[in-house]
Structures are given as C-alpha cells and as structure tokens.
Structure 1
C-alpha cells in the first residue's frame, strides 16, 4: 500500500522520511536538497558552524528546492540561540533540536511561526515537548549514531512514547536501514514516519570525504561502539585508533580549547576537532559517529536510489495482510 504523507506544521513531506541532521558539515545543502527533491525532509546539521556559514547553506538549499528544509541544532551548543535565530532568518522551514531540552525554543517557534521538532528518548520529555508546543517528536533510540539519550532499543522505547503522544506526529529513529524496517515501524508500531541518518552518509551526494564513506563501508558489527562525549552524553561511533585510545583511558586531551562550542564541556577531548578530522577522512584521529546498523550497508547510492529502494520495499508490505514483521 502507498505510504502516507508526513505533515509537520504546515509542511508536507510526500514521503515520510526525515534525513537526520549530522554535524559538523556532514549533512549540508548538498545532501538536504536531493532529499527534499525526493519528497522527504532534508536536514542541514547546524551545530558547530559559524552562523553566517549556516545561513549561506540554508539560503543555497532554499534556492535549489521547493521541498522542505529543516535545520538540526543541538541544545548543548553555546551559541544555540544564535544558530536558531540565524536559521529562521535565513528561511529554514523547521528547527529540529536534541542533545538537551529547551523550553524557550517553543516560544521562539510560536513567535516566528516555525515548527519545532524535538528529539527525545523518554516518555516524560515527549509529553513535555507536546505540551510546550512541539509540532512533532522524534523518538531516538539506542541504535542511533551520535549522541544518545537512552539505552533502550527502538522497538522497546517507541511503544512507551506512542502511548503518551497522540496529537502530533511521532517519528521513529535509530538503526533503520531499509524500507521493510520503515514499514514495520509505521505499520506495527504506529510511527508517522522515520528519521534516517547513517544510510545517507553512504550517498553520492553526502559531502564527506571518500575516506569517511570507506570507514562506513568497512565497519563490522563489532567495530561500532559506545564512546563518551565531552557533551556529557554517550555516543555511538566507529572504532578508530583515536577511539581505541579513548576506550583504553589514554590521554586524548586537546591541550587548549579552540572552539569553545559547548555550554558544558568535560574537556576530555575536543569533539569539534575530532569530528572535523573525520569529515576530512583522518582515519587515525577522527571521530566517526555511526548508527549501530551501519555494518549492514555495503554500497554507495544516490539519494534517489536510496529513496526508491526504501519506498519500494516499504510499500510492498505496508498495511498488507501478508506482512510479517
């Protein structure tokens, strides 16, 4: 059966897929635009960017597509407010925010008539987000890449949040690698759509280096591990010599803070420095955030090919009596 559209605020995605916003400079307009053109919600990762650079990329995206362009900004960023206001000024269609919880963001959303989408990992935060005015909630579970707010799997966490959220769209995120899993989350678990991030790293359009993509392609299940982040949250990443040093409690401190990017930072290492190293393909020193199921992905495809594959598989089983999940 044909997949339903996803409506968030006044915006409609023809295909109920949100491309996850990956910072720093992993998901730029180069990725967000083709996602939006395919009918999904394209997301620019706004964290860790100077406001003028982010605004330029948003304007570039908005000029290139009539589709929906969102910006993902971590609440943990010191310049969170400036990034949010800069994104709104540049014409972003919606703001997606996680890695902490802001009450004020909903007031900003109402003042500027822009949808706010909250990434949460508990029923309590989901309920609070809906009450404060979130236009949608993304349930991000333990299988996700990057910063994590829970140890619960998606299939354990999502039903608990589905029970308490009924008035706004609820999006499933974490470890979804194909259209069959997408249909399962929507059909069996009642998701209104899905958020997918790691799969889009392995797209032709993603702006990361080829070495970054090769790290994803080579990753085995045992190579994808939990790490600690200076943000104060655990994260999921691919093993590298840098990650091995972290896991072995070796000294990985940066010495001095170049970026001063976080509200609170443990200074165990500089996360911006390590994410930029990964972006540039530094397999020795980079921090390559990755979803738990990246090891299942074995080819680089265009964004359109990824969408076609997801939709074809999902619609072959969605709402079909013969579907077995």
Structure 2
C-alpha cells in the first residue's frame, strides 16, 4: 500500500496513521512517543491523566494538568521531531483548562470528541496567544455522523471563519464511549458483514455523506481537510478498505493496547489477549452513553444492577451525578490501568478479541500499512 504522509497543521506525519487516545492511563507519553517515533501521530489522553499523582484525590485538576505536561515531555523525549498531541473530551469538566495546558505544553494537535468541540478554535487561539505561540495546534473534532460533521463545520465556518485541520470519523466498531444511541448500534450490528467486525454497508453510506459534506467546505476554503477513519481497523485489509472509502488516514487504538510500549499494566493487556469474541459487549456508562468493553466480574455486577461503592467525586465529566451513578467511571478505569482487571471497566474496540500476543508498536504499524 502506498503510504502518503499526513498533513497535521504545520507539521507532517510520515504515515497516515493516528494512534487513538485512550484514557485513563492507557495512552500516555510512552505509547504516544513510540507511535510518533515510527512516523504516525501519537495521542496522549488527558482523561484523569494525573491518577498516579500523590494529590490526585485532593486536587484532581491540579494533578491532571501537572501530569499532562510530564507525559508530553516524556513523549517528546522519545520522538523529538514526531507529531504528538492530546485527545481531550468535550465532556470533561474544566475542558478549557485542558486545552490551555495542551497548547502551553507544545502539542502539535488536539483531537476532541465525546461531544462537539464547538468553541475549540477560540480556546486554542487564546491559549496560543498567552503562551506566545505563533499559532494554535492543529484542531481535529471527532464526529460519528454526517449531521455532527455538518454542525461543527458550519459553526466553525460561521463563527470562526475556519475549518478543522483534520476530521476524525469514529464508527460504531470503536472502543470506549461511542457517538451513537443503543438503537443505532443495534441497527449497524444487524447489517450483514459487521458480524465479522467489518464496517456495515449502512455506515459506509454515512461515511460517504460525511466526505461529501467535507468536500463542500474544502471547495469553499480552497484547501484540503484530511479525514481519518476510526473504529474496527485492526489489519491491512481493513486499512485498505478505509482508504478505498476515501479516508486520508486511519485512527487505530485497540491494536496498540497489546504492545510493549503501551502505558497500561501488563494484566490489562493480557485481558485483551484472553478475551473471546463473545466477551466484547456494549455497556451503559454511568454518564448515560453506550460504550464497548470486555465482560468481566465487574461488568457482571453492573449488568446485574448492583450499585458499586465509589470514591469521592473526582469531577471528571459534566454529565455525572455522583449521587445517582451505579459506579464511578474514574475508579473503574483507574483499576483497569493499574491491572486490577476484575474490578475494572475494560474499554476496547469491537475486534480487540483478535489480539493473541504482545507486539511492538513497529510491528503493529507494519501489519496495518
């Protein structure tokens, strides 16, 4: 396969590959730096990134912002010239503070989902001015539908007279929180072909609709808006399919979990290797969004209606009400990163069960491209 470089703002990645941001503590500086060093785009997830800091329970935001800078510096030491950035969830409390810290740290790109980052251009530009940067990092919203793409493109055009530097299209086979309703996911699942972990024909049509909308804004601005396709891309054939559909790049996450360089505990990686196809399930997150995870003792308890005691609120997401949630997503994801896998929420992509060994980042990239 011809491997065309990927334009990322003022920089260029040698390979058209983005490593998806995985929180809490799964894609930190080690993984992001390794991917960037191989020519891809490495992303650090800011979601509760400071969970290992001593004052995390007392000052979550302070711990997270401090760890954000540490992890970026660690990634940059691994890959001095590579493209390194952050994945920041719109649903995060203090979203603006994370954007500001990412810009100040020196991020090349900010990828933002879990909601539409409507005012990201303003926040990034203000942070860049305060930090003395000539311009803000490349900005890349995550969308899952043509409607979402149209809303964000029109809003940025009308309010900020600009378009995204890159657009990530995250499909129904992705891991973690998903940008679809349960009914939409079930409809896609029933499509022929998706039983084998392939993009359904219905979602292929959605991708084409998104690309058509993107092209209309490319014409208006006279510039290319690269589109990366994400969700279920786990081998060379899936990557080729993504490019044949019109994608300029692929975003891959789950394949990088079972690498030597991934920042997660080895027991988390081994949970992927042990998982069977039937163990990958759609779950309801305590903040109301559907997500995809590996069935384990923790999930059995949650799916059985049990209320899991949790720590004091770490103020991670806008939509969370600590008094009403069945479990704390921060607690569950920290357990995952630490390797306490039976008491954890093990987010994963639809094809995570195919992992059968620990690889290196280079081996994964070579298998994809």
Same fold? TM cut 0.5: yes
Q: Which residue of 2 aligns with 1:319?
A: none
Offset at residue 253 of structure 1 (A) = 4.5
Residue 192 (structure 2) pairs with residue 177 (structure 1): no
User: Where does structure 1 differ by over 3 angstroms across 4 or more consecutive aligned residues?
Assistant: 151-155
Residue 87 (structure 2) pairs with residue 59 (structure 1): no
What SS does structure 1 have at the residue aligned with 2:67?
A: helix
Offset at residue 130 of structure 1 (A) = 2.8
CA distance in 2, matches of 1:105, 1:258: 26
CA distance in 2, matches of 1:110, 1:169: 21
Residues 142-168 of structure 1, C-alpha deviations (whole Å, 9 max, x = no match): 110000012355441322312211221
Q: Which residue of 1 aligns with 2:262?
A: 206
Higher percent of residues as helix? 2
Offset at residue 287 of structure 1 (A) = 0.5
1:1-325 correspondence to structure 2 within 5 Å: 1-49=1-49, 50-65=64-79, 66-111=81-126, 112=128, 113-131=136-154, 132=156, 133-150=163-180, 151=184, 153=188, 154-155=199-200, 156=203, 157-166=206-215, 167=218, 168-187=225-244, 189-254=245-310, 257-266=312-321, 267-311=325-369
CA distance in 1, matches of 2:67, 2:229: 30
Alignment check: 8 A CA contact 2:117 2:141 kept: no
CA distance in 1, matches of 2:117, 2:233: 27
Q: Which residue of 1 aligns with 2:159?
A: none
What SS does structure 2 have at the residue aligned with 1:116?
A: strand
CA distance in 2, matches of 1:278, 1:190: 35
What SS does structure 1 have at the residue aligned with 2:342?
A: coil
- 5+ residue gaps, structure 2, are 50-63, 129-135, 157-162, 189-198, 219-224
- 5+ residue gaps, structure 1, are 312-325
Higher mean displacement: 189-198 or 78-87:
78-87
Offset at residue 258 of structure 1 (A) = 3.2
Q: Which residue of 1 aligns with 2:131?
A: none
Offset at residue 194 of structure 1 (A) = 0.5
**TM-score, normalised relative to structure 1:** 0.91
Alignment check: 8 A CA contact 1:242 1:285 kept: yes
CA distance in 2, matches of 1:203, 1:162: 32
CA distance in 1, matches of 2:123, 2:92: 17
Alignment check: 8 A CA contact 1:129 1:137 kept: no
CA distance in 2, matches of 1:178, 1:29: 24
What SS does structure 1 have at the residue aligned with 2:330?
A: helix
The two structures, once aligned, show a CA RMSD in angstroms of 1.5
CA distance in 1, matches of 2:171, 2:359: 25
